[in-house]
Structure 1
Amino acid sequence: MLLNIFNCSPRGERSNTRALARPFVEGFMAGGGEAREYPAADPAVFDAAVEAFGTPSVAMIAFPLYADAMPAAAKAFIEEIWRLRGSCESTRMLFLVHSGFPEETHTRVMKDYLERLAARMGSPCDGVIRVGGGEAARHANSRKPGRTYMRLWELGRLYAERVVLDAAILAKLAGPRRLPWPARLLAPMIVNRLVWDRELRRNGAFDRRRDRPLEAGERP
């Protein structure tokens, strides 16, 4: 079975999307499948990705959510493959959607949208993999795989063997409906220190983290 992964994140190879798709792909290949990756956000690869979607295969469209919305690259890819609707019955559709927020409420509406998209395309939909709290996935230590990595790996292996996504693993990956109140208090401090402060330092902007927008008529 051939799995084509269409990474629609504008970050491409450095994306959290690729970091989250990788363990699924590794598990899928361990289960006997074959996989190919297409960075669909790259204009040089876009046409080849659309052509690959129409071939008999499993097509995984993967992308992040930015403030609960898909990136433009994902929307452009979906609009382009739309012209193939009704003629891709041999393409089984899978989706991987992730959000920086851990609660599953941020990806729930997108799940309904993508399932309806597959139905209107005339393609079998094998499911939507939702991953909460995926903001720092690309920074994870590959030598010490965490729970999310192992769950995605096992999900890929089982899918290669059964052509069905394991419902119990999907539920764990999606995240809780709502974080408990201690986590809601501590999470902002942890995220600010481990993610945002690190990005500010990397871009030489840490000392300006308290800057505010200019008032009307104020000069910099």
Structure 2
Amino acid sequence: MEDLKIIRENISKWNSIRNEKNAISYLTSGSGFLITAEDFENWDLLAPEFINCYLAVNENNDFKIYLVDNLTDQEQDYKLNENIFEKNFQEYFDESFLNQKGTINSNLTPTEADSRIATWVLCANAWVNHKQALRQEEVTAESGEMVQVFTLPFSDLRELFSDKNLESLKATFALKFEETEALSGYEIEIILAKTEFQSKSLSEVSLVKETFADMSKGYPPSKTAINQFNLL
């Protein structure tokens, strides 16, 4: 399958450069990517537990995201635009993260979501430099590895897409503070956001309501299991 060969090559290219200094130029080259209702409906037929989110760079040096459900990834029965989708890393979203925000069943408050996204925007370069410094020391080298793939709980998508009128979710990078026995510091994450416009008439200014979900996990620094990510 030629498409799968290209996908693997693109993912492999990111893996080969992710720990280099210029990796930050890809991670900050846009605001994020979209997950559509059609994507969700295709995955929902399979009832997966997670969506695996691979980072990639194509032959034109464009940053790409590949999304595939964990069941397909385990079985390696990939079908482009059916269970695996290529996403552009968009330079900007049509709507911004604004006012009148709410949450789903998550510990993430709107204020915290804004803070994490802003921390990424303002501190991404410093974070990458910190990762590089960690890789220089044997004790912390593993913690300094840059992310290859994220997992997104499918339950988050199911809850956000419970609104049948929703066409897409926004996914954007953020920095979250984490503390473990070995090390404490900031780690990159993906925050999902649902945008709802509320206006009573065409002449009125629309209010924007944002609903967030933030249960993504990055690998590394998290440990991978055998047969978990078969596109790496």
TM-score by structure 2 length? 0.20
Which structure: greater helix fraction? Answer: 1
Rg: which structure is higher? 1
